[in-house]
């Protein structure tokens, strides 16, 4: 993979991460700062199902989903088509991508399982990973990563573990969410019925097998950033993964970028996020990148 290019916050495609592209149901292109370029999203949850209900979630669940399940044949066709379309410069015809340099909008940095819900909830996760790996191989995209963006709740499922093993041999990377250090704050921010200790156990067991990236969203709740005690607890959770034999490649700290369903869930200022990232790095020794 070539060195990471500079991505501008001013590009329309960086500001607009709509998970819809034409008539496609399952795949969509975005320019992502965390991917350092063009990411082809694979929406495994067109039904918008999630086992979290984050106070900052951008998914509009008042509108119905576009499909109730993932059709593997259609997923393969759509992914093949979009990869070829993007690589040959087709996205430059779209006003949203016109201000992006050609080498960035034609270089596929990753294929990311993401979308309108939690990818590990679907019953055929491993099948979908196998399809993406196969299409990627057929396209000769040996440098392109396969990324799973997950809330970690389903990482202990047998089918999901099979999917992770396929990812491991196809430039796979797991970006796992951790927004809290305590059960109470987890319930406040992620509003999930899943127990926090299951999330932590899944993170540990997954990181014991391969290195993972922790993705954490920090924000203000009713005007207050994460309390100091919570940030200390959060760093302790990361250190527990490390002392338990888990490997964390890096931590991505980011904040709210778009309108939230709860008006009292608001973004941090860049310097506030930078300060949190610096604190995490000093308390854990982990490379921590802030995406203000």
Q: Is residue 16 within the footprint of ligand SF4 (CB under 6 A)?
A: no
Closest alpha carbon to 25 in 77, 61, 60, 63:
77
| Among positions 12, 25, 59, 257, the unique one binding ligand SF4 when judged by CB under 6 A | 59
- Characterize the bridge pairing of strands 37-43 and 27-32: antiparallel
Interface characters, 103-142, with ligand SF4 (x: CB under 6 A): --------------xx------------------------
Instruction: Report the alpha-carbon distance of residue 28 to residue 22 in Å, rounded.
Output: 9
Q: Compute how many other C-beta atoms are within 10 angstroms of the C-beta atom of residue 64.
A: 8
**Sign of torsion, CA 265 218 13 213?**
negative
- The smaller minimum CB distance to ligand SF4, of residues 57 and 174, is found at 57
Closest alpha carbon to 292 in 265, 274, 280:
274
| Among positions 7, 36, 57, 241, the unique one binding ligand SF4 when judged by CB under 6 A | 57
* Least distance CB 233 / ligand SF4 (angstroms): 20
From residue 146, give the alpha-carbon distance in Å to each of 22, 152, 184, 263, 277: 23, 16, 33, 34, 26
Q: Is residue 153 within the footprint of ligand SF4 (CB under 6 A)?
A: no
* Least distance CB 48 / ligand SF4 (angstroms): 8
- The smaller minimum CB distance to ligand SF4, of residues 54 and 135, is found at 54
The one segment of 8-16, 49-57, 207-215, 233-241 that binds ligand SF4 by CB under 6 A:
49-57
Task: Give the DSSP H/E element, type plus range, for residue 148.
Answer: strand 145-150
- The smaller minimum CB distance to ligand SF4, of residues 4 and 60, is found at 60
| Among positions 47, 78, 110, 151, the unique one binding ligand SF4 when judged by CB under 6 A | 151
Q: Is residue 194 within the footprint of ligand SF4 (CB under 6 A)?
A: no
Closest alpha carbon to 279 in 223, 232, 213:
232
149 beta partners: 175
Q: Is residue 50 within the footprint of ligand SF4 (CB under 6 A)?
A: yes
The CA-based dihedral angle spanning residues 37, 105, 73, 71, taken in that order and rounded to the nearest 10 degrees: 50
- The smaller minimum CB distance to ligand SF4, of residues 55 and 75, is found at 55
* Least distance CB 56 / ligand SF4 (angstroms): 7
- Size of residue set near ligand SF4 by CB under 6 A: 9
The two three-digit tokens of residue 195, written as one number:
């127990």
| Among positions 54, 146, 164, 203, the unique one binding ligand SF4 when judged by CB under 6 A | 54
The one segment of 5-13, 46-54, 89-97, 251-259 that binds ligand SF4 by CB under 6 A:
46-54
From residue 89, give the alpha-carbon distance in Å to each of 34, 78, 80, 98, 234: 22, 17, 15, 10, 43
Q: Is residue 52 within the footprint of ligand SF4 (CB under 6 A)?
A: yes
Q: What angle do CA 152, 154, 156 make, to 5 degrees?
A: 100
Q: Computed over its alpha carbons, how large is the radius of gyration of the chain? A: 18
Residues that bind ligand SF4 (CB under 6 A): 50, 52-54, 57, 59, 117-118, 151
């Amino acid at each position: 993979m070539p060195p990471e290019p500079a991505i501008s916050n001013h590009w329309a495609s960086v500001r607009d991460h709509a998970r819809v592209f034409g008539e496609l149901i399952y795949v969509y292109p975005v320019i992502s700062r965390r991917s350092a370029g063009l990411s082809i999203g694979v929406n495994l949850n067109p039904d918008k199902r999630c086992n979290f209900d984050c106070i900052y979630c951008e998914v509009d669940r008042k509108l119905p989903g576009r499909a109730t399940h993932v059709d593997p044949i259609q997923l393969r066709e759509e992914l093949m088509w979009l990869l070829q379309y993007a690589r040959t410069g087709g996205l430059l015809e779209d006003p949203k991508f016109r201000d992006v340099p050609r080498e960035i909008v034609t270089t596929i940095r990753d294929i990311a399982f993401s979308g309108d819900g939690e990818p590990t909830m679907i019953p055929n996760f491993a099948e979908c990973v196998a399809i993406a790996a196969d299409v990627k191989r057929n396209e000769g995209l040996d440098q392109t990563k396969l990324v799973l963006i997950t809330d970690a709740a389903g990482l202990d499922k047998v089918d999901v573990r099979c999917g992770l093993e396929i990812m491991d041999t196809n430039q796979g990377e797991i970006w796992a969410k951790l927004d809290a250090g305590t059960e109470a704050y987890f319930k406040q921010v992620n509003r999930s019925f899943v127990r926090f200790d299951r999330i932590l156990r899944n993170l540990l067991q997954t990181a014991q097998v391969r290195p993972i990236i922790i993705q954490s969203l920090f924000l203000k709740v009713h005007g207050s950033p994460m309390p100091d005690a919570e940030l200390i607890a959060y760093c302790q959770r990361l250190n527990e993964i490390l002392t338990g034999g888990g490997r964390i490649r890096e931590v991505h700290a980011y904040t709210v970028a778009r309108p939230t369903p709860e008006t009292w869930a608001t973004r941090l200022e860049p310097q506030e996020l930078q300060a949190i990232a610096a604190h995490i790095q000093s308390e854990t020794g982990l490379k921590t990148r802030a995406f203000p």
